Structure 1
Amino acid sequence: MLSLLLGLLNIECIADDYSVTCTQTSPPSDQRVQGEILDQLCQHSISLAKRFKGSNPRVVLRHKERWQQLPYCPVALDIRFSAMAQNGKVPLLISCSEHDGTPEQRWKQRLAIGVDFDVAVLLADRDISRGEALSGTGLPGPTKSPGLKKSKVPFSAMKPNVFQDNVSGYITTRKISAGSVITTDMVKKASAIRRGQQVTIAVQLKNIELTTTGVAMENGYVGDIILVQKENGRPVKCRVINEDEVRPVGGERRS
């Protein structure tokens, strides 16, 4: 019975759920049924944690009484679960059907399982005005931006549009109240080059770099391709290198 072997997996009972912390090697598989399930789900939780720069991946077996009541199966179980975790919940279908027993010995059971981990987010530690510039080294490293601080939230409770990029070069699009989690709709990139700005056009020819000047015909962030009007009046497509320098591009499409 599953209930007799849960202790072998070092599973901690929390309220009505069983929670197991995953590692890179996954929890021990001392019993085939829960061992196979936990091995697969822990790997899924670890993979998700890496994608979101998270830590402390874990699996929660919800509704302990249903796990305790799983019937015996004489063969390997068919374990199927969705690769997506909606709010940290993974639908799971366990089947015991590929054997020669009676119909009563062949069964299917649907269970709710949770995968979770801690995600680093940015919080406003004071009211931030609309249009305020942000700076810093981003997550999960140290944050230098005034008015922001790092915190951790469970993936299962994380907003879908939480901002996890480097905050340098961004400005706020609205007033942000102290304590708010920074989301993507609260910030936007500040233009590195603005329309009408005089810029340096640098051209690399073998070991020689030639420069001339022009006027930006569009706003552009670093890496964008914009139109720049050269001194002779001819527009040319250029890639934005920094706040006052561009480089011509040949045959590239504008971003």
Structure 2
Amino acid sequence: MKNMSIRSVFALVLPLAATLLAAPLPALSAEEDAPLVETPDLPPPPVNLKPSVEVDGAYVVLGDLFEGVTKYADKPVAYAPEPGKRTVFDARWLQSVARSYGVMWQPVGQYEKVTVTRASQVIDQAQIAQEIHAALADHNVGPSADVVFNTRNLQLYVPSKAEARVGVSNLSYDEHSGRFVADVEAPVGAPDAQRVRVSGRVYTTTSIPVFKRNIAKGETIKESDVELITLRESEVRDDTVGSAEDLIGKTPKKMVRAGTPVRDAEVERPLRIAKGALVTLVLQTPQMTLTTQGKAMENGAHGDTIRVQNVRSKTIVLGTVSDNNMVSVSQNAETPASALLTN
């Protein structure tokens, strides 16, 4: 080795160096290739209190109270109020819930709160009365009867997605006084149905004609002037006109206001003949027609029988008002044809 020349050493080293230089370099991994950057911790999203909220189910969940909650948002934290009612959660209770579920929220003041309302459908008094009325059919209560509750503004509330049907049970009815007591519930048959005991009275009703507009004295009443309204029978006087036919063609003795029940004494048939007026007396038979002038002794409407005095003979006869200033008489023992003849 000592005797080896420099030329011999280079002869051995150079081929080895060439081989090493020709070999590929090992590839760097992605982690080795990428620069090292520190990722800062992102702050949690802000959480805000919802001052008011409407819920549709039986529970209040965490996300109903706090806006921005991601974890446990669907976690029930309280029972929802009954349909149609509301519950208020104060700052102390809200802070306790937030702490229990790791929600980063603190009340600004002691008066912070959340008002939770339960979504619902309203069953009004008219619908309840309709069901009571249907149940009273078994007690011979007619369809025109009026059901009146002792409680004003009676209402039932049911969940917004429930079927808004009313059930009636334990109905008690006194036919003499018209009073009733019953239990109603909605939704019918539901375990959480709202139940309430109701009481009231049934009034029989009737339809009577009234005027659509004010009708003046002497004005002839037309069919288009009349309409029917429904009143309790106890509110209708015995002398009230009961049908439109009894008004049409007549005239008021004085002005009658629209919508007011009309009494029999307030209307009359239009006068065709006034007392003291000169009229034509007519006697008609198959063989002849006799006419003469007379003087009306009383007022007369169409179809009325009135007394008329023959102007010339002064004989008084009975006749029927047939037209304006015309009275028809018939020949009989009391009214012979000679009574119409002038002297």
TM-score, normalisation: structure 1: 0.48
Larger Rg over CA atoms: 2
